[in-house]
Amino acid sequence: MSLSAYLTVIVANLLGALSPGPDIILILRTATRSRRHAVAAAFGIQVGVLMWVSLTVLGAAALLTAFPEILDAVQIVGGGWLLWMGQGLVRSGWENRTSPPVGLAEAAAALGTVRHTFVQGLTTNLSNPKIVLFLAALVAPLLPAHPSVGTSVALILGLAWSSLALFLVLSFVVSTRAVRRKMLVATPFIDLGAGLFFLAAGAVLVVRGVTALV
């Protein structure tokens, strides 16, 4: 795999990671309250990304193409998770709409533990298996027919760590004290917006999965 092809894959992957989706929404929503939690969410997402990237490079896309029922089932389960998380955010935002947190510590505490946020990031990323198909369409045309172990490892690490760097930059930029202070009063409405997004994304995944299985 040439250097230009390698860099093309990395840049395309970053553009895909920047597109509005559950991962980005979770990072932004969390970063408006706590930098530590945002970083934890980013690492949780990254563990999921590393798994999907590894599966893609190792040929999981061919398995999903041969057995689409696997993809459909994972979509239903993942969509159900997004629906559950979305309704929780909507309910929380609605209940707190007249009483936003009064300080940064209170806003961070409302997120729960850092470990919980890490798991939330991981499960949010794992909820959408179509990343495998996206990566396969991106990577397959540029890979040699039988890539060496070195090429596979370099590609996995490049895709995974470049997206981690992107999420960490977002986490640090959005979570500055100045930004968090300005966003305090809007916290309930951020939860409402994020919750509605997750509800819509989850519904799409469930409907697609059920329709395909039926």
The mean pLDDT value of the chain amounts to 86
pLDDT along the chain (214 residues), means of 10: 78 82 92 95 93 79 72 86 93 89 88 94 87 72 70 85 92 93 90 94 89 79
DSSP H or E segment with residue 175: none
pLDDT digits (tens, 9 = 90+) for 137-159: 777 666 666 667 887 888 888 88
Q: Write down the pLDDT at residue 168.
A: 95
pLDDT digits (tens, 9 = 90+) for 125-136: 988 777 777 777
Q: Write down the pLDDT at residue 1.
A: 64
| CB distance 90 to 191 below 8 Å | yes
Structure tokens given for 102:
């009064």
Q: Write down the pLDDT at residue 143.
A: 66
Q: Write down the pLDDT at residue 131.
A: 76
Look up the pTM and report it: 0.86
| CB distance 191 to 25 below 8 Å | no
Domain locations in the chain? 3-213
User: Under 8 Å CB-to-CB from 154, ≥6 apart: which residues?
Assistant: 6
**C-alpha to C-alpha distance for 43 and 115, rounded to whole angstroms:** 11
Q: Write down the pLDDT at residue 144.
A: 64
Q: Write down the pLDDT at residue 142.
A: 67
Rg of the Cα trace of the chain? 18
For residue 116, count CB atoms less than 10 angstroms from its CB and return exposed for 0-12, middle for 13-18, buried for 19 or more: middle
Q: How far is CA 126 from the centre of its chain?
A: 8
